[in-house]
Amino acid sequence: MRDDYAAQFLVGVSTALVAAVFNLTLTGQLNGLWIVVAFLVPFTVLQLYQTAGLRPGREWRVRDNELIAVMGQATGDGAWELDAAEARPWAVFGPRRPLAHGKYRATFYLKINSLVGDAPVIDIDVAARHGQKIIALRTLTAQDFGKADLFQRFPLDFHLLQDENEIEFRLSTKGTPRRIVLAGVKVARRL
């Protein structure tokens, strides 16, 4: 719960509610049963929050061995560099983790060395079932990047209609001579 600000807010509001009801009960302004309600309602709301999976986003990187790279090399600052001149399906993929049904946003943090041309450079996608089911796909050209040599966010929204056991985030190079650097992929739930 350390970085889960929504849960911290729920706990804070619950604590204030219980304290207020307890004080009102001690002064005789409320019936003693309200203390039970004041404990049960916040407890139930917090349980529903946690069960629904509304937690802060999770980030994966190649260097943490959560994303697997079949080409490229580490940059030394925790990112992974790819030569997009070599067309390679699923140059980076992973982590093959379960996600509950719901709406999500996967954000790929990428930079490119040159903005010249408009040929497809890379595909980013979200897949399930060992890559057999493509859930979301986006093709990026050099023109999609605002500046060269600057990390930029590329969001990819997707909706899971059912729980999936092995979601993976993939990057495929298209054979355009560019250097692409991947800092990581972050996934977060959307409301």
What is the pLDDT tens value at each position of the chain, 191 positions in all?
344 566 677 778 888 888 888 788 888 888 878 878 777 887 777 667 655 554 556 777 776 668 889 999 989 888 999 999 999 999 999 998 888 888 899 999 999 999 999 999 999 999 999 889 999 999 999 999 999 999 999 999 999 999 998 999 999 999 999 999 999 999 988 86
**Torsions phi, psi of 126, nearest 5?**
-120, 130
Q: Which fold has domain 58-190?
A: Jelly Rolls (2.60.120)
From 114, 187, 100, 98, select the one nearest 150 (Cα to Cα).
Answer: 114
Burial class of residue 96 (count of CB atoms within 10 Å of its CB; 0-12, 13-18, 19+): middle
pTM: 0.71
